[in-house]
């Protein structure tokens, strides 16, 4: 069984094409998950709505609890880290991350940054050895292949790789940096553009993105099925 972790970071509660002023990224994640469920209804899917219920921001108490050594752990620290622990547990169990993340002011919304800050955790998702001066960090989620599917939307256009405004887009590169740091190695990016312009170019971009999602689901289903196939006797 493959486990999907479906995250939506848009503050818009509805989906474009279905709800007035709905979210394009929610439309893409919903399409991805629906396509997956249709092919493999028995797979586990966990959905967390970061846009409507953002994780707590990093606090002084959180930092003290997260970086306390084993002998300095106190009971109150478990309460402070309870949400972060739940987010980390969901991530560790997942095989495919379905990330709906709109581009806001050159990067992702604050709710998604709060999620990143909660899941990059010492001794949970990354190890640290101060004696290793060459590379003191060990990614702890490199134990098996995990895929991160970044489904984004952009008000402008030309912000993808090779585009004239690609240098202004720090969303996908930043997500990759954080997740690679903890051991996730396989990334897939699909985005809708022309949201501010609207009209035919937005409609084509939406259609192209939906088709790309369907093709990506087909590829990942084949890859995960192959990885789970029993070895010959």
Burial string for 114-138 (b: 16+ CB within 10 Å, else e) reads: bbbbbbbbeebbbeeeeeeeeeeee
Task: Quote the pLDDT of residue 188.
Answer: 98
Task: Quote the pLDDT of residue 229.
Answer: 56
Annotated binding site: 10, 153-156
Dist CA 27 CA 16 (whole Å): 6
pLDDT < 70 regions, the chain? 227-233
Dist CA 145 CA 158 (whole Å): 31
- Per residue in 47-72, pLDDT (tens digit) is 999 999 999 999 999 999 999 988 88
Task: Quote the pLDDT of residue 71.
Answer: 85
User: Which residues, other chains included, contact 156 with Cβ-Cβ below 8 Å and sequence gap of 6+?
Assistant: 165, 193, 194, 196
Task: Quote the pLDDT of residue 223.
Answer: 87
Task: Quote the pLDDT of residue 230.
Answer: 53
Task: Quote the pLDDT of residue 231.
Answer: 40
Task: Quote the pLDDT of residue 228.
Answer: 67
Query: Domain residue spans in the chain?
Result: 3-228
Annotated binding site for FMN: 10, 153-156
Q: Does domain 3-228 have CATH number 3.30.565.10?
A: no
Which H/E stretch holds residue 31?
helix 24-39
């Amino acid at each position: 069984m493959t486990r999907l972790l479906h995250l939506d970071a848009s503050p818009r509660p509805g989906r474009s094409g279905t709800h007035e002023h709905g979210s394009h990224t929610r439309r893409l994640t919903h399409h991805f998950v629906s396509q997956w469920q249709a092919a493999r209804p028995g797979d586990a899917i966990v959905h967390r709505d970061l846009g409507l219920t953002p994780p707590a921001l990093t606090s002084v108490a959180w930092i003290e609890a997260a970086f306390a050594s084993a002998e300095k752990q106190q009971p109150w620290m478990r309460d402070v880290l309870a949400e972060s622990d739940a987010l980390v547990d969901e991530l560790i169990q997942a095989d495919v991350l379905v990330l709906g993340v709109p581009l806001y002011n050159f990067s992702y919304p604050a709710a998604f940054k709060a999620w990143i800050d909660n899941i990059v955790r010492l001794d949970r998702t990354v190890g640290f050895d101060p004696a290793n001066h060459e590379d003191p960090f060990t990614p702890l989620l490199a134990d098996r292949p995990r895929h991160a599917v970044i489904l984004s939307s952009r008000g402008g256009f030309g912000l993808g790789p090779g585009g004239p405004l690609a240098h202004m887009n720090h969303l996908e590169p930043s997500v990759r940096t954080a997740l690679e740091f903890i051991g996730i190695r396989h990334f897939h990016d699909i985005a809708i553009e022309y949201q501010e312009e609207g009209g035919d170019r937005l409609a084509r971009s939406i259609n192209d993105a939906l088709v790309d999602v369907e093709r990506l689901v087909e590829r990942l289903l084949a890859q995960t099925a192959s990885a789970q196939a029993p070895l010959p006797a």
